[in-house]
Structure 1
Amino acid sequence: MPRPGGRRLRLWSGAVTAALALCLTGTGQASAADVDNVRNGGFESGLSGWSCSAGSGTTVSSPAHSGSAALKATPDGLDNAECSQAVAVSPNATYTLSAWVQGGYTYLGATGTGTTDVSTWTPDTTGWTRLSTTFTTGSSTNSVTVYLHGWYGQAAYYADDVSLFGPDGGGGGDQGGQTAPAAPGGLGVTGTTSSSVSLSWNSVSDATSYNVYRDGTKVTGVSGTSATVTGLAASSSYSFQVTATNAAGESPKSAAVTGTTTSSGGNGGGNGAGLPKHAVTGYWQNFNNGAAVQKISDVPSQYDIIAVAFADATGTPGAVSFTLDSAGLNGYAVDQFKADIKAKQAAGKKVIISVGGETGTVSVSDSASATNFADSVHSLMQTYGFDGVDIDLENGLNATYMTQALRALSAKAGPSLIITMAPQTLDMQSTSSGYFQTALNVKDILTVVNTQYYNSGSMLGCDGKVYSQGTVDFLTALACIQLEGGLAPSQVGLGVPASTRGAGSGYVDPSVVNNALDCLAKATNCGSFTPSKTYPDLRGAMTWSTNWDATAGNAWSNAVGPHVHALP
């Protein structure tokens, strides 16, 4: 944990900038007489009709935008993973080129148009995004080359439902006269909770999927005619619309409906069963890195949640395992470890298993790995007696499938499950990030998000100003982003190092932590930043680690623990 690895900086040369200047973002609407001239645009026949540079392309079954297959192409070295197809077209005709993409940087374009060649692009995306551009062929143009490619050194990209709609060029494309579907009708609210609204609508002929919009912003895509939008604030009203999509494009939005969430009846969503209103979380090291070696029984009583670090990835995608480092922990026996967990629980504490850490490689990126994650974590809970799980994945996560995994785990473990998260500061700067979106998606079963406010440098606060780590303003102005972004105050905690040795940078004296808690909960002891309102239900604080705290004479927990528990 908490010491995040370096984030790669993307450096754009003048040549790249010039290339991007060629990108066009115009879109066109296909006419009733237009056909799709691309062959195998859904990659249901493998790479038939397509040519990919340096063997960079393959087809995969997941993720797929529609059907059972999609393209996956991986840049390598000086190869940008270009996959292309020569398409027959008619002269002096207007065409709309589109594709659904996700993953790394993705470019879509056409060359040999006889007029102006076109391209469009998108940066990294965690969900399917439609790229589209238009062009007009020259007076003697009978063929163009359409292409997709990634960018050098970046992640693999995925593409599906590539189409080129316009007059039939005689090349035998896939879709015949298909056009974008009509807007869905019958949209209505079928249920609400304090953090979700359930919707349903009528099916649309020729639609392959549907997009759900909340207050004008797309929040999810589904294949059926119902969806539940989660991560909402209690007692709040939202406007919803739905569109239908197919390979030809997306329909207009449906008529809007309003959904109003119910009252939370307390501190907001999330599970805090058995925990005090204000809680302290500490990570316990299952390894010896120079900090004091501890048994679970050695952890001071000021800690309400003890996160055992870490569960590790296995050879099965998404699955995790845990092995007590008895040798590194001076002969700590497994049976004693289990007994110590039970003793802590008898004293009202929660002991959970943390997944990830700085070098963790757990990846939950499809439905199968989500199931493996839930099954393996639940197995560890049964084996060792853990109360739940902590998500400390510092190399990114997929919000769709981590949400699926946590909901599956919740179904297995029941309502007493504890779920905590420890994202880096960068992961909680925007509600569109994978981590933040996951937290909002599982808000109704989430206990607390303890963001790591260290190893960060300078970051934006909720007021748009830049704050430097190691200050009360950094803690309060960044926590404000989550408090205003949809999490309940009871689901927000301040993560800090227990000592100067606990992190590479960002250590603050415990008095600064206490001032930040006071500022957020009571609007006292603030720095230059003062929140617009108080959050008396703020959950508390977290530290890495109980071992580094012990090395420093438990100075952190002795100061911060009583202060947290004395908050209003």
Structure 2
Amino acid sequence: MRNPLSNPSRRPRRRLLALLATAGLALTGAVALPGTAQAANILTNPGLESGSLSPWSCTGNLGSVVSSPVHSGSKALAGAVSSSDNAKCSQTVAVKPNTAYTLSGWVRGSYVYLGVDGGASTWTSSPSAYAQLSVGFTTGASQTSATIYTHGWYAQGTYYADDISLDGPGGGGGSDTQAPTAPTSLRSTAKTSSTVSLAWNASTDNVGVTAYDIYSGSNQVLSVSGTTATVSGLSAGTAYTFTVKARDAAGNTSAASNAVSVTTDTGGGGGTGFKQAAPYLYEGWGDPPSVSTVMSSTGIKWFTMAFMLDGGGCNPMWDSNRPLTGGVDQTVINQIRSAGGDIVPSFGGWQGSKLGANCSSASALAAALQKVIDAYSLKAIDMDIENTDEFENEAVQARILTALKTVKANNPGLKTIVTFGTSTTGPTYYGNRLIEQAKSIGADIDVFTIMPFDFGGGSDMYGNTVNATEGLKAKLKSTFGWDDATAYAHIGISGMNGLSDQQELTSPAIWTQIRDWANSHHIARLAFWSVNRDRPCAGGGVVSNCSGISQNNWQFTSITAGFTG
């Protein structure tokens, strides 16, 4: 698969600028808003927190409200750009003539624009995370309304926008210029590692208060109609300072309330404290590379060694035919440890004779796992649960989870990982069942790792990987009662570098985006299949010893080594 965004002739910058000039759109920098008692965000539903698009209107019905990725709160705007429609989403508001306004917002995607019809606009080329745009303009002498918009660019993929703000006095031709009184007694009523709940005493106004705007420092993060709010999407163990301002229908805004400082929780007992960057390495396939070369070239320390299978009679062997100890696998493990690294063996995989399916009971499987733990004094083990013999077999799922519970109890400090497939929106039926079974038997799994490839990801492997991971987070929260930070701390991502079996393309740039997202959300584990394939062979297809794309040797491993959680 060819990445359309890697083609420099697709939408060159100078063509974009020429088109902007043709459309009469001027690119300007941010303009400071004059100090005024009436300054306020006069947009309705600026962060899409209502869960509805209204009053935003999007061309081609291409706009929607999504829960991930968001800049703050729990919702954001998504514009599904097509080859013939830039998914322009707009809102018209009343303004005052001859008045300065500042339009700002947070956007993410390739070539995303923010502007006002018939006036100024600004844009950003391709941020991998949310970036803030800001532009100022002054209304005309008789102008009483303005239509502000955001849009993407043709055939450049879905864009996202959040926390859009038009700061200035509201219009409407009324004579109300009196601001509400400031809210009082702002206080924190609850907190977690990722949320802070606030309450305050109501303001008064000569006409009536219509909204309260919540600020974190100087950034507006939420608008509500009542006197309570919960700010979400915060970082664990971090100090935040909040204030609240009241706003009336004319756009008059009050002075700020008292400030309240809150430090979010560190994650509590639900977090594992376990972080692991461990790409797969397979000694039975794919021209195995020199681990000392890979480690010295990339800085990687951990490897996931594949695959521990059944050699017959519930007896663990590498790939079912290489000895547990004394063979090439042990030689490589010794080399890794001599270089300051370590390994986690992966039991199972897509095919072969698997211990989970062939051991007659959970106790027999636990005994087989214990042989491997003892042989290598392991700190962690990974159960790669796939295919119909394990993943889609409910009895085998239970056997594996029970065995993991047993070895964890018998080996204090051992970390247990389960790895399984996913859809683009999160766990499938069997993935959900696996998580529910883990909860019901008290398996105390440290990391639930999804494999976001061969899952219909198409051209947006970054977006779909994030969406799948957010779906897993939601399932962990609902099943275990965890907060966001604790759920993320139990999550792993295991991708496939280059071309997948279904021709999904994960380029080094996309993998870097995924790693950066994983770091920013403090997940537990990052892996990919495989180091054997972490070599270039542009146009080489899906083969065992190269990625099928143009890249540098060990480039994906180097990127993965930058995962810190």
Q: 1:179-224 CA distances to partner (integer Å, 9 max, x unpaired)?
A: 89979976789899xxx699676637576464557xx999999973
1:135–1:363 CA distance, 2 compared to 1 (3 A): same
Listed as ranges, the gaps of 5+ residues in structure 2 are 204-208, 277-340, 360-367, 453-460, 496-507, 537-550
What do residues 82-118 of structure 1 show as CA deviations (whole Å, max 9, x unaligned)? 13355565543323334566677642201324xxx33
- The answer to whether residue 32 in structure 2 is matched with residue 32 in structure 1 is no
Work out the CA distance in 1 between the residues paired with 2:233 and 2:45: 33
Query: Structure 2 CA distance, aligned partners of 1:62 and 1:480?
Result: 24
1:133 to 129, 132, 135: 135
- Kindly provide the amino acid, as one letter, of the partner of residue 118 in structure 1: S
What TM-score does the superposition give when structure 1 sets the normalisation length? 0.51
1:57 aligns with 2:127: no
Q: Which residue among 50, 55, 75 is the counterpart of 2:81?
A: 75
Does the CA-based 8 Å contact 1:373-1:405 persist in structure 2? no
Give the C-alpha shift of residue 241 in structure 1: 2.2
Matched, 1:269 2:344: no
CA distance in structure 2 between the partners assigned to 1:9 and 1:65 by the alignment: 26
Give SS of 2:436's match. helix
User: CA 1:293 to 1:64, structure 2 compared with 1: closer, same or farther past 3 Å?
Assistant: closer
Over residues 216-266 of structure 1, what are the superposed CA-to-partner deviations in whole Å (9 max), with x where a residue is unaligned?
A: 99999997367796544xxxxx6532344789799989768596999999x
- Equivalent pairs counted in the alignment come to 411
SS of the aligned residue for 2:435 comes to helix
Shift of 1:50: 5.6
Matches within 5 A, 1:3-42: 9=6, 11=8, 13=12, 14-16=14-16, 19=20, 22-28=27-33, 31-33=36-38
Q: Which residue, out of 461, 466, 473, partners 1:397?
A: 466
Query: Corresponding residue for 2:121?
Result: 118
**CA distance in 2 between partners of 1:122 and 1:211 (Å):** 28
Matched, 1:224 2:289: no
Please tell me the residue identity of whatever aligns with 2:82. D
Do structure 1's residue 150 and structure 2's residue 145 form an aligned pair? no
Pairwise CA distance, 1:80: 0.6
Structure-2 residue corresponding to 1:528:
none
* TM-superposed deviation, 1:31: 2.8
Matched, 1:97 2:103: yes
Cα distance in 2 for partners of 1:230, 1:449 equals 18
Which residue of structure 2 lines up, in the alignment, with residue 240 of structure 1? 240
Name the aligned partner's letter for residue 168 of structure 2. F
Structure-2 residue corresponding to 1:378: 435
2:298 matches 1:295: no
The DSSP-based 3-state class of the residue aligned with 1:168 is coil
Give the stretch that moved more between structures: 39-48 or 145-154. 39-48
Distance 1:435-1:131 versus aligned 2 partners, 3 A rule: same
Instruction: Summarize the Cα distance change of 1:377–1:31 in structure 2 as closer, same or farther, 3 Å threshold.
Output: farther
Structure 1 residues 178 and 354: alpha-carbon distance in aligned structure 2, compared to 1, 3 A threshold: farther
CA contact under 8 A between 2:87 and 2:152: conserved in structure 1? yes
TM-score, with structure 2 as normaliser: 0.51
Match in the other structure for 1:363: 425
Distance 1:190 1:30, change over 3 A: same
Q: 1:392 Cα shift?
A: 3.1
Q: Could you tell me how far apart the structure 2 residues matched to 1:374 and 1:246 are?
A: 46
Distance 1:480 1:218, change over 3 A: farther
Is the 8 Å Cα contact of residues 37 and 254 (structure 2) preserved in structure 1? no
The amino acid of 2:85's aligned partner reads D
Matched-pair contact (CA < 8 Å) for 1:239–1:256:
no
1:510-521 → structure 2 map (5 Å cutoff): none
The alignment partner of 1:26 has SS state of coil
Given that 2:236 and 2:266 are in contact with CA atoms closer than 8 Å, whether structure 1 keeps it comes out as no
Give the superposition deviation at 1:75. Answer: 1.0
Report the counterpart of residue 525 of structure 2 in structure 1: 449
Residue 354, structure 1, aligned to residue 424, structure 2: no
For residues 177 and 158 of structure 2, the distance between their equivalents in structure 1, rounded to whole angstroms, comes to: 35
**Structure 1: 5+ residue runs without aligned partners?**
233-237, 273-277, 312-321, 328-332, 441-447, 459-466, 488-568
What secondary structure is seen at the aligned counterpart in 2 of 1:439? Answer: coil
1:78 counterpart SS class = coil
**1:381 alignment partner, SS class:** helix
Deviation, 1:136, is 1.5
Q: 1:221 to 1:16 in 2, by over 3 A?
A: same
Q: Distance in 1 between matches of 2:75 and 2:403?
A: 51
Is the alpha carbon distance of 1:284 and 1:131 closer, same or farther for their aligned partners in structure 2, counting shifts above 3 Å?
A: same
Matches of 1:363 and 1:199, distance apart in 2 = 27
Out of 479, 482, 490, which is 1:419 matched to?
A: 490
Change (3 A) 1:423 1:335: closer
List per-residue Cα deviations over 1:21-45 (Å, max 9, x = no partner).
Answer: 8253335257334687767878879
Q: Is the alpha carbon distance of 1:361 and 1:184 closer, same or farther for their aligned partners in structure 2, counting shifts above 3 Å?
A: farther
Counterpart residue identity of residue 353, structure 1: V
Letter in 2 for 1:269: G
Equivalents in 2 of 1:183, 1:104: separation in Å? 40
Instruction: Give the aligned CA root-mean-square deviation in angstroms.
Output: 6.3
1:438 aligns with 2:435: no
Structure 1 residues 5, 449: CA separation in 2 closer, same or farther (over 3 Å shift)?
farther
